[in-house]
Structure 1
Amino acid sequence: MSNKLIKVINLAAGYDGTPVIMDITFHVERGEIVAIMGPNGAGKSTLLRAMLGLAKIFSGSVEILGYSPERDLSIIRKLVGYVPQRENISLNIPIRVKDVVLSGILLRRGPLSLPTKKDMLRAKEVLKSVGLPKDLWSKKFSELSGGQQQKTLLARALISRPRILLLDEPFSAIDIKSQREIMRFLDMLKREEGISVLLVVHDINEIADYIDKVILINRRMIAWGKQSEVLTPENLKEAYGAEVEVIIYRDKCLALIGDRHA
């Protein structure tokens, strides 16, 4: 069996007949953590959504564990855990942490499904594994901190034992400590279970030690590979349209990308 869990070749994808991304080619191997980078509007979220049948594929191909989202979508959604950029959980609805996590299983079975004892045990197991204390089990989701909410959503994505995780800006609005805790957990998953992780990030600097490869896009593929190969001043200028300082430290890259406006 191939170690390439995700294969994307010459992909063009978008919405309503209009491509957002074009000429995207890369692969993700078993047990890799790969970051997708690029400016706002570059198509990073669209790339993830195309893998799940949430954006239209106009040309090229996507394979997830050998399956195509155009033909085998129901199979792919059982094999992939997904945390979207914007979650549709209303903070005005008193949904509890346990209900959010269990929905990762129950929504796959049907709207009237009820959790089994085995489901409850698995939900508690993944909550513990992402670093959330058991006293949050019955707490309202809206009462959690940003980091706790993100860990709850990660637990929901993990409850069905996926082979691949797709995370869309999982670190937006959470502190550096929570970012590092989540990355340590993802690193453990890749080493112990061989899970592959593809995540959209704006700032790689705080998590660079955990990133195996980087995909840099701005509607088209700019570069893909190891950090030192991708995060060069030339590539970053092409992506962001501005001069970017790059510092290499222990074979990892610190890209000083900031707002150039006063």
Structure 2
Amino acid sequence: MSGQNLLGDFLKARRGRVTPDQAGVRSLGRRRVPGLRRDELARLAGISQHYLTRLEQGKDRNPSTQVLRALATALRLDRNETAHLYALAAPSQAVEGHREVGEDVQQLIDSWGTTPAYVRNRGFDVLAANKLAMALSPMYTPGRNLVRDVFLDKDLRGLLPDWQEIAAQTAAALRAEGDLRDPATAGLISSMLMDGDFRRLWENHDVRPVRNEIKRFVHPLVGPLTLRRQALSIAGAEDQTIITYQAEPGSPSADALNSLC
């Protein structure tokens, strides 16, 4: 992990993903780079090539809001990617997150007897879970790390028929939600870069937080389940998120989930 130049790494990666046609740049002859050249991005953003070079090389790490806004526009970043760009350019304000879940939150998820639910932090450590979540998958057991499990626990891949998509989402969500300057998160990423699948996806620099969407499982005891995932924030613990899974009422997945209760 090029942990000392997060902003520069992101700018270089995203510059390589914008084609001249997308940016409205006239391209003549053969090109040595797949995306925009440095001088082209600088011209589009209205900054000097020398300054962009300093940003990409990590020699200048405090661009103005105006420069960041211009770069985001030139790089065609979406809302999540733009927020990530601003976060990388901000001075480090990493603080130790909440490592324990409040008793009231534990009681809440325990009361959802037919809804798998767990709590994770921004580093994707599982901090708490109800019984049904742990019955759905061992990766939802407190003390586990979801990034490590998705990529390194080969046995779990049989549980996730859409593993490729989930792996890509996991890497993109860690980049979107994780504090990359936090020592624990940086250590997690550094260790995970030893895995080829994670390294390939991480180097894409995709940014996409966890969304409310459908997720499929193939459970060894009850078979296929199609569940809707919801991500819920916790007041007073912004670094923690409750993840729940729900089946369509009356569906085979609901019956299968009930049999795990």
Shared fold per TM-score greater than 0.5: no
Higher helix share: 2
Rg larger for:
2
Higher strand share: 1
Q: Report the TM-score, using the length of structure 2 for normalisation.
A: 0.22
